[in-house]
A and B are shown apart, each in its own frame.
Chain A
């Protein structure tokens, strides 16, 4: 693999179910991010991690959690999915946290 890999690509989920979106990068970047993208809105930051072992809340963190056990992996968990979490989720990374972002291909999540 090269770059950032997200899984699943697409998922339909019943409300109330738990879901984890996976994100793995092979660029050894320190900083990683989870965004959601909704029609008519800019990308909104959910959670971020500046380095392995640390995480922080973004603009819209409620209902989501993350972990950063190592440099490469940054999973996003929805503990109990709700319809308003229907969105396209992008994982991204950057080398230093101040440079350009590299994005995964996105995970399209539909919560019914």
Chain B
């Protein structure tokens, strides 16, 4: 079967750095997405990785290792507004998105 694993919940301190991991087992691979979802709101796109390595976009970076079936989202200089759920999704060989259950990130002052 296809599976995306992420931690259910993480806690971090304002101003710090946090890394949210995602491991996947899918039938084929055509890219990995990270989305942010604030409580009661729609998911919004954060990043896309299709090749191995690190993609940096401001305070957020995303890393991919296809051989390990592994990605992480790195958030720097955490702000209270970063409190949200972070969803990892993999596009499989049929170009369908397989979603993880999401990681709820709690930021404490």
Contact = CB atoms under 8 A, between A and B. Distances in A.
Given A42-B4, A98-B30, A104 B99 contact: no
Interface residues of B, number: 22
Contacts, number: 44
B101 A40 contact: yes
A101 B87 contact: no
B13 to A, nearest CB: 26
B43 A90 contact: yes
29 contacts: A40-B101, A42-B4, A42-B100, A42-B101, A43-B43, A43-B87, A43-B97, A43-B99, A44-B99, A45-B96, A58-B96, A90-B42, A90-B43, A97-B95, A98-B30, A98-B31, A100-B33, A100-B45, A100-B48, A101-B33, A101-B35, A101-B45, A101-B97, A103-B42, A103-B43, A103-B44, A105-B41, A106-B41, A106-B42
Interface residues of A, number: 18
A45 B45 CA distance: 17
Interface string A92-104: 0000011111111
Contacts of A99: 48
Interface in A56-104: 58, 90, 97-104
